Amino acid sequence: MCTFLLGPFLALLPKRWRRSLPLLQSIDWRIPCMLSGFGEFLVALIVMLYWYSCSVTTWVSRGLDLALAGKVGPVANDQEIGFMAIFILATHPLTWLIAYIGAEGTVRLLGAAFTESNLGILPLFVLDKILLKINGQSEPGIAETAGFREGNLSS
């Protein structure tokens, strides 16, 4: 039950944060990460469609208003105004942010489905690494979790 209700939201967190939750240590994170990645991709797709329809319609309308008022010169036609609206959409930072979120959701979905790498979202992972550096802590590596440490003078 917790896997399907809270799991997709908790799957956004980095692995270290999920391991620190006392009640959720026994959860298999594969399915929640797949659901979370698919949900992230789906939300990005819906937002991109909405952003496209609103922005391009507005920019084409403004371009046509300027053309009808004679402010863009006599050579501007409908195709050039439409192309300019698509060009603005393609270079707008919000378009790139939405595309990044969709790509990250796809990577998280495929990573959980095929390679069993249950990753959280990148901004929270980077925040976790920054907080570790600020506090002077380090995450235990494979060697430390196995019960031995490597030093500079070890053979």
Percent of the chain whose pLDDT exceeds 70 = 84
The token duo for 100 is: 């990044």
Residue 1 domain-assigned?
no
Q: What is the pLDDT of residue 78?
A: 79
Residue 63 domain-assigned?
yes
Residue 103 domain-assigned?
yes
The domain of 118 spans 6-19+29-122
pTM of the model: 0.76
Residue 150 domain-assigned?
no
Residue 46 domain-assigned?
yes
DSSP alpha helices (H): ranges in the chain?
2-5, 7-10, 15-19, 30-68, 78-91, 93-110, 122-135, 142-145
The more confidently predicted of residues 135 and 97 is: 97
Question: Which residue is it, tokens 């053309």?
Answer: 67
Give me the amino acid identity at 100: Y
Residue 10 domain-assigned?
yes
Considering only CA atoms, which of 66, 62, 57, 55 is closest in space to residue 90? 55
Given a cut of 50, whether residue 142 has pLDDT beyond it is no
Residue 99 domain-assigned?
yes
Q: What is the pLDDT of residue 149?
A: 53
Q: Which of 45-49, 85-89, 101-105, 150-154 has the lowest mean pLDDT?
A: 150-154
Residue 24 domain-assigned?
no
Q: Which of 20-24, 46-50, 67-71 has the lowest mean pLDDT?
A: 20-24
Counted domains in the chain: 1
